[in-house]
Amino acid sequence: MLDAFLEQKSKQLVFYLARYLRGQLPHQEMHLFIWDTLEEWAQLKISNKTPQSFREMVFWHLVYQLEFCSESDLKTDRHLRRELHQCMGYLLGKTQVHADFVGIRP
């Protein structure tokens, strides 16, 4: 159940974020996707706050960054954009990622 959720939502998150970063998706749509994802997560009723894998930590880190950072920062901060691309590549299994991209479950 958890693995299926992460597999599906990681792919969707990368799809939405890639389109947003290319200017093909409004910030509000990405924001709505994230909130829909959080609602689906809540329905899983997983009480443990500790992620089970590094992949899950990167997923939650990316979700946090997208909600915490301003739309302006997401568009203009080169360091942040590089970090977002690294996380996306890792979630797709294409790159390695730094150990400091660690998120916790909501």
Domain ranges of the chain: 2-91
Longest dimension (CA), the chain: 37
Q: What is the pLDDT along the chain (106 residues), one digit of tens a residue?
A: 899 999 999 999 999 999 999 999 999 999 999 999 999 999 999 988 889 999 999 999 999 999 999 999 999 999 999 999 999 999 999 988 777 788 999 9
Cα separations (Å) of 51 from 57, 71, 78? 6, 27, 28
3-state helix, strand, coil in the chain (%, to 5): 70, 0, 30
